[in-house]
Structure 1
Amino acid sequence: MTVLTIEEMAATLAPGQAIAGLDLGTKTIGLSMSDLGRRFATPRPVIRRAKFTIDAQALLDFAAKERVAGFVIGLPMNMDGSAGPRVQATRAFVRNMEEKTALPFVYWDERLSTVAAERTLLEMDVSRAKRAERIDSAAASFILQGALDRLSLLARSDGDEFSA
């Protein structure tokens, strides 16, 4: 497994390969998937956190089932750009995944992704209980959508087209 920049991931992905977005929380891992054309991020059910080996296996099972070519994982930077304890936990999770998979990871600045997800769910008039269930996967979708938008921009600037 390798940690790549979004530009490096763009160069390694073949047309028709989907990528997954992750929002790593203390209680859950929010999941989202791209479509095969890598245009849209769609929330998927969360993984309830247990211990690392169980979490890793659940993530790898998801990746195999969905034919994931790589992961975009939210990096929860502080608003001032500094790295706090959640950044360290995210980096440790990815380091530990190195022993489990060859799939690449891209870190993506996730500042305000949960706020954006919460606002969207509120606009959709989702109840408080259902928002609590869906917030992490919605945040993972915001994280992944940001990366997909960047991949699309890179493709246009290179004259390439990511399509299925």
Structure 2
Amino acid sequence: MRRGVRFAVDVGKARIGVARSDPDGLLAVPVETVKRDLEGDTHIRRLAELVDEYSVMEVIVGHPLNLRGESTPSTEDAIGVAGELAAAISAPVRLLDERLTTVSAAKQFRASGKQASRSRDQIDQAAAVVLLQDALDRERSSGMPPGAALD
């Protein structure tokens, strides 16, 4: 397992959930929810600040394919954000299939008695945690970086 802090980014139309790992890559924890700026790049600048603040060695961006593994408008949106982020930071950016991460996070909230509709920021962070923990577990079991490097 490579050593270093990793980030996961769960891209949404209104918000972007962010999670980070510990330096040993054992555990993913929430960081914050970044408000999406659809007319500018405020969200990219904030993500770049966080990458610098935490000395991140790699960023995993959720790659939202549909259940058949096909691209959707959300897929193209996430790839666009990943590309913008890759241009703004020095750490590598990877795409990882994120099917059902937000659904899984919302189910966890409901199971704990919280209302998902009132916890959107926390759900976005939780989705990033689910994505990152999946990436960490994949790397630990395979010995290879998870997902696909952004071209």
Same fold (TM over 0.5): yes
**Contact 2:17-2:126 at 8 Å conserved across structures:** yes
1:41 matched residue in structure 2: 28
Give the TM-score normalised by structure 2.
0.87
| Superposition misfits of 4+ residues, deviation over 3 angstroms | 127-130
Corresponding position: 1:108 with 2:87: no
SS in 2 for 1:38: coil
Q: Name stretches of at least 5 consecutive residues in structure 2 with no aligned partner.
A: 145-151
**Whose relative contact order is higher, 1 or 2, with alpha carbons under 8 Å and at least 6 apart?**
1
Corresponding position: 1:29 with 2:29: no
Q: Name stretches of at least 5 consecutive residues in structure 1 with no aligned partner.
A: 1-9, 158-164
2:65 matched residue in structure 1: 77
1:99 matched residue in structure 2: 87
The alignment's C-alpha RMSD in Å is 1.7
Give the TM-score normalised by structure 1.
0.80
Q: What does the per-residue CA deviation read over 1:111-133, in whole Å, with 9 as the maximum and x for residues that have no partner? A: 11111101111122223454222
Question: Distance between the aligned counterparts of 1:122 and 1:135, measured in 2?
Answer: 11
Query: 1:98 Cα shift?
Result: 3.4
Q: Which amino acid aligns with 1:73?
A: V
Looking at CA atoms only, which structure, 1 or 2, has the larger radius of gyration? 1
**Contact 2:5-2:22 at 8 Å conserved across structures:** yes
Corresponding pairs, count? 143
1:137 matched residue in structure 2: 125
Q: Which amino acid aligns with 1:31?
A: V
Query: 1:69 Cα shift?
Result: 0.8
